[in-house]
Amino acid sequence: MLLSVSTHSKTNRFKKINLPRTILSTVVLISLLNPQIVSAENPSKAIKCNSQANFSPCFYVAGGLIGANVSPKGVVGGWSTSNSSSFGYNLVVGSQLKPHWFGELAFNSLGKAELKNSSPAITGIESISYSIPSLHVGYLLKPTSETINYFAKGGVSFIQNSASSNRIPYKKQNSVLPSFSVGAQWQSPKNGLFTRISGDYHSSDAIGLNILLGYKFNTPEKNPTLKPNKQRTKPRRIAKRKPTAVKRRARPAKRRAAPRRTVNNAPPQLMHIISNIVKQPSFAGVLNGVDFNPRTAILTPHAKGVLNGIARKLKNQPKMRVAIIGHTDSLGITAENKLLSRTRASAVKSYLIRQGINARRMVAEGQGDSQPRATNSTESGRRANRRIELRAL
């Protein structure tokens, strides 16, 4: 009986399709549909699941091509494989759940195997096609912020087959089998575009080479609005019913408002912190992408592009004064780290001055390694601690 299909990698089959044109068309389509690509220099629109320090889950969609050699086993009733070379496609919907973990649902079409009968009395060519939905959980071997990464994923595949005609004796398959895949990934450092190449194993009869192109999207953030406090309407009703009582209780009401004055009597440092939190602009905080050459205060080209956007926003708020604060990891001597952080903050200030920002509006500070936001025992943690922050004064 024709029970299953054997597939092997066949890259020469891709010569029959224009793969570069297909990939280029997909990239252009994604660029037109998603404005994040053309505004990737804006840190607020960066793909958050590509950041190791400020990670936030995101989802992605992808599509690709599969090179395969499709060949049903056995000869039944004179029918056997006449052409085993084939190619198919797959569609993927997934989510980056954790900095290293992702899950995805995919539909894989492995193409068709052409069958021919050895009897001269039976003419014509028939075929058997295979489709494999799959559910996988994957793990990225390197930090999610890396441009080139490697991954492995495992899960289950639902193997299905169908024949082009009922004159082919074959066994209908609906098998659920464990499957896994290993491969490499490249992702753009500026937006959510990524591509993968992998070897997929669904069973001993289903092995293929897969080239995938996709795009990541940030998960929409929810901004719940505060509900008004309806309990405040009760004292107003009492005031309407008994106006005289309200006048008599006017002085006790002022005494009850006295606790509010204690806020003004709080330590000046606490009041300064509260004031800063309230008036911080949307672009304040860690300036993601503002990096330097190792152990120097020389800005990278990408960092200058980020600072160009910050300069435009500061020009739109000409009365705002800001503090530029530099931080380092714990490697090296503490005194040298503090000097390096101050020098880097001064380099950022100097660059903004060259972009037209008044020097009196900016203050450069260096905190060294005194304020880590992640562990210094790992490379990813140290990378997160090496940062430039912006605070409104």
Q: What pLDDT is recorded for position 285?
A: 87
Under a CB-based contact definition with an 8 Å cutoff, are residues 53 and 210 in contact?
no
- In terms of Cβ atoms closer than 10 Å to its own Cβ (0-12, 13-18, 19+), residue 213 is middle
**Structure confidence by residue, pLDDT tens digits, 82-125:** 666 677 898 999 998 888 899 999 998 877 777 777 777 777 77
**Structure confidence by residue, pLDDT tens digits, 340-353:** 999 999 999 999 99
Q: List phi, psi (to 5°) of 354.
A: -65, -20
Q: Give the CA count within 13 Å in the CB-facing half-sphere of 124.
A: 7
Q: Which residue has the tokens 């009401």?
A: 253
**Among the listed residues 137, 178, 184, the one whose alpha carbon sits nearest the alpha carbon of residue 157:** 178
Q: What is the CATH number of domain 5-218?
A: 2.40.160.20
The angle formed by the CA atoms of residues 101, 107 and 112, to the nearest 5 degrees, is 140
**Structure confidence by residue, pLDDT tens digits, 273-306:** 555 555 677 778 889 999 999 889 999 999 999 9
Under a CB-based contact definition with an 8 Å cutoff, are residues 192 and 50 in contact?
yes
Residue extent(s) of CATH 2.40.160.20 domains in the chain: 5-218
- In terms of Cβ atoms closer than 10 Å to its own Cβ (0-12, 13-18, 19+), residue 18 is exposed
Q: Is the pLDDT of residue 354 over 70?
A: yes
The C-alpha atoms of residue 368 and residue 290 are separated, in whole angstroms, by 16
Average of per-residue pLDDT across 315-324: 92
Q: At 242, list the tokens.
A: 């008994």
Q: Specify the pairing of strand 322-327 against strand 362-366.
A: parallel
Q: Which CATH architecture has domain 272-392?
A: 2-Layer Sandwich (3.30)
Q: Report the percent of the chain where pLDDT is more than 70.
A: 67
Residues 6+ apart with CB under 8 A from 162: 128, 129, 131, 172
What does pTM read for this prediction?
Answer: 0.47
Residue extent(s) of CATH 3.30.1330.60 domains in the chain: 272-392
**Among the listed residues 130, 60, 62, 113, the one whose alpha carbon sits nearest the alpha carbon of residue 90:** 62
The C-alpha atoms of residue 100 and residue 119 are separated, in whole angstroms, by 56
What proportions of the chain, in percent to the nearest 5, are helix, strand and coil?
30, 35, 35
